Amino acid sequence: MQANDAVPNPLEDLDTILVDEAALKSRLTELGREINATYEGKELAVIAIINGAIIFVADLIRELNLSIQLDCIRVSSYRDETRPMQEPEIIDKIRLDLKDVDVLLIDDILDTGKTLSRVCQIFRKLQPASLRTCVLLDKQTTRSVDFEADFVGFQIPDEFVVGYGLDFAERYRQLPCIGVLKPELQNPPEWT
């Protein structure tokens, strides 16, 4: 590579940084403490909704001093405008037996609440001993269903954010911070 070749830097596509790397790290440690205290002495099944929760769950479980089973699920999007509006559904088969198990569902961000409220409805039928939810980000002003998470990393304003697992057209997940894309890069919106 020539010395003057431009190296793509996705951080330069951000307009603003809402949560920087240091803030993420220290909040993750606090969240880990809260979760450790809640489940002290118990075995926990951590179920992450991917792809969005992939970085968050990887860092979070390393803050937990608990016996953990980890699995991931994918949830179909209801934001596909090429098809009629539909309820989010779990695409994968849930492989762990969750009956009488303490379950913690992890998602990247709580927005309208439809995804987690639907996934919780499905998980309750599996008769877990307990079912709680943990999200890194919470846009409290955008809820369309009555749903709150048990553990929340940060409250953020109603902006489309990327980074630390969150994508725009599957890009930007690797950014070490949470930020808002420059307006000229936000069109058309891609929310899956």
- Binding residues for Mg ion (CB under 5 A): 52, 167, 192
Around 15, how many Cα atoms within 13 Å sit in the side-chain half-sphere? 10
Give 55 or 66: the residue with its C-beta nearer to ligand 5GP. Answer: 55
Question: What is the closest distance, in whole angstroms, from the C-beta atom of residue 143 to ligand 5GP in the complex?
Answer: 8
Question: What is the closest distance, in whole angstroms, from the C-beta atom of residue 191 to ligand 5GP in the complex?
Answer: 5
Give 12 or 170: the residue with its C-beta nearer to ligand 5GP. Answer: 170
Residues near 20 by beta carbon (within 8 Å), at least 6 away in sequence: 177
Instruction: For residue 26, give the H/E element and its range.
Output: helix 21-38
By CB under 6 A, tell whether 110 contacts ligand 5GP. yes
By CB under 6 A, tell whether 115 contacts ligand 5GP. yes
Binding mask 167-186 for ligand 5GP (x = CB under 6 A): x-------------------
Question: What is the closest distance, in whole angstroms, from the C-beta atom of residue 98 to ligand 5GP in the complex?
Answer: 20
By CB under 6 A, tell whether 154 contacts ligand 5GP. no
Decide if 111 is catalytic.
Answer: yes
Report how far residue 164's alpha carbon sits from residue 173's, in angstroms, rounded to the nearest whole number: 5
| Of 7-15, 65-73, 122-130, 162-170: span binding ligand 5GP (CB under 6 A) | 162-170
By CB under 6 A, tell whether 161 contacts ligand 5GP. yes
Q: Where are the beta strands (DSSP E) in the chain?
A: 14-19, 43-50, 67-74, 102-110, 130-138, 151-155, 161-162, 178-181
Residues near 151 by beta carbon (within 8 Å), at least 6 away in sequence: 31, 34, 35, 104, 132, 133, 134, 135
Check 13, 107, 108, 111 and give the catalytic one: 111
Question: What is the closest distance, in whole angstroms, from the C-beta atom of residue 88 to ligand 5GP in the complex?
Answer: 6
Site for ligand 5GP in 39-78 (CB under 6 A): 52
Report how far residue 109's alpha carbon sits from residue 115's, in angstroms, rounded to the nearest whole number: 10
Report how far residue 20's alpha carbon sits from residue 39's, in angstroms, rounded to the nearest whole number: 28
Give me the DSSP letters along 102-134.
Answer: EEEEEEEEESSSHHHHHHHHHHHTT--SEEEEE
Residues of the shown chain interacting with ligand 5GP in the complex, contacts defined by CB under 6 A: 52, 107-115, 160-162, 166-167, 191
Residues acting as catalytic residues? 111
